[in-house]
Amino acid sequence: MKILMVYPECPDSFWSIKHVIKILGKKASLPPLGLMTVSALLPAEFEKKLIDLNITELTDSDILWADFVLISGMIVQKDSSLDVIKRCKKLGVKTIAGGPLFTSLFEQFDDVDHFILNEGEITIPMFLEDLKKGELKRIYTSEIKPELSLTPPPDYSLIDTKDYYMMPVQFSRGCPFDCDFCDIVNLNGRIPRSKSPEQIITELSKLHEIGWRHSIFFVDDNFLGNKNKTKELLRTIIDWRKQVDFKPLFYTEISINASDDDELLELMRQAGFFMVFVGIETPSTESLQECNKIQNQNRDIIASIRKFYKYGMEVTGGFIVGFDSDDETIFERQLNFIQEAGVVKAMIEILQALPGTKLYKRLEAEGRLLVTSSGVCQDSTTNFIPKMDKEMLIDGYNKLVKKAYSPKFYFERVSNFLKYYVPTRKIPVHKRIIPSFIKIIIILKHLNKGRFDFGKFIVKTLFTYPKLFPTALDQSILYIHFSKVFN
């Protein structure tokens, strides 16, 4: 049996960082962890290939080689997925589809031959059993949330790691919170499930053995899903790192209440976490209550953000405008908040109603839904009728993003971040000079707009935070991407 796995193309966006990784000689940010895990769940005797459309093109001969083309993606990859499905149908090759996009929207894909939905540890064996019998159904689905002890290590043999900027690892699925706009609970449940520390060490060891020495992204819905298990994992990683001299640092998604636990933050620091993505959403108390973001309520959010900085972790933040309780003042309030908090990489989006969420169901009942969410963060539109005048919302959003990612405001944000940031790694001065010089040349060469603001920022940093100069340059390089995407 020949299985061609296809990962659809991701649009240029906040997350893609395409304009930077190309400069660094990489082709894409992350490989498709889902498909690499699916490969490990399929029989070893199957012939398997992976085509990542963010890396290379899909040819007709690739498709014709396969008995089945297996496609997996997220909502943001819908257009690319439709193109792949159309090509397979034209060439007469059967398709199998799964992953978040198809689990949420399978009704919209008439030309797919078979769906393997929800979590593959349960539904892939169901498909394989029917394949043996020659009695395949169109849809395989299950509400069972499997224990992750069933999850094998990803099949890294499918990819060339040199093509990627980071490598993904998953420790847990699910989130204990139930924010109205988020589809995580619908997809992965509210009771977090996790792998054992031994499973994670096995995966990290495989990456170490194949020579991976760069960053690793723990792609968990919420790395703090089960605090006791998270701490157990962190202690295991700390001990293991000392034994094997493991160099890569970690990045993950976590809820802001992690900032309340100093022991947790210290363990994350020692384990090698340098950055976290936090859903901050809004400075509006009313909007936080409206969307049931209980973990962000009744706290000084900026102080919580700075707590991560204190432990050597930068905060990448998610921000939303367009809640029913938002008025025309929200755009300036968001900008002021983002600047003061020093959240350099601020993912700002208009509220979208994702399929299966409480928000989606409420708006559907109110007759306010328009179209299915695109999943694209900076889509400059929304898929429902907002309470705020729609033109005011879109215009306010566009001006907010443009201003936030103007050179003046971006580098001001980096300076506010540096005020409170305590780096975990100490880089000797003699090891900083040449890399810093190279980065400055790269920035000046590729930064089409904002060179003057960059120059002022660099001079200020040299005099004010000289030890943080490498960090300042890393943030500056990322502006090459953001300046192209948001301006």
Question: pLDDT category, 430, cuts 50, 70, 90?
Answer: low
* Residue 350 confidence (pLDDT) above 60: yes
Express each pLDDT in 290-325 by its tens digit.
999 999 999 999 999 999 999 999 999 999 999 999
User: Tell me, what's the pLDDT at 372?
Assistant: 73
Which three-class secondary structure string do you get for 62-97? Answer: HHHHCCEEEEECCHHHHHHHHHHHHHHHHHCCEEEE
Q: How confident is the model at residue 56 (pLDDT cuts 50, 70, 90)?
A: very high
DSSP conformational letter for 32: -
Q: Could you read off the pLDDT of 138-158 as tens digits, one per residue? A: 999 999 999 999 999 999 999
| 3-class secondary structure, 353 | coil
Structural contact between residues 394 and 380, judged by C-beta atoms closer than 8 angstroms? yes
Per-residue pLDDT band at 379 (split at 50, 70, 90): low
> Two tokens at 133?
């019998």
Indicate the CATH number for domain 166-196+214-221+247-404: 3.20.20.70
* Domain 2-140 shares a fold with domain 166-196+214-221+247-404: no
Stretch (H or E) spanning 471? helix 469-486
Residue 15's pLDDT is 84
434 confidence band (pLDDT: 50, 70, 90): confident
pTM above 0.75, yes or no: yes
**Fold observed for domain 2-140:** Rossmann fold (3.40.50)
Q: 3-class SS at 470?
A: helix
Domain boundaries, the chain: 2-140, 166-196+214-221+247-404, 429-486
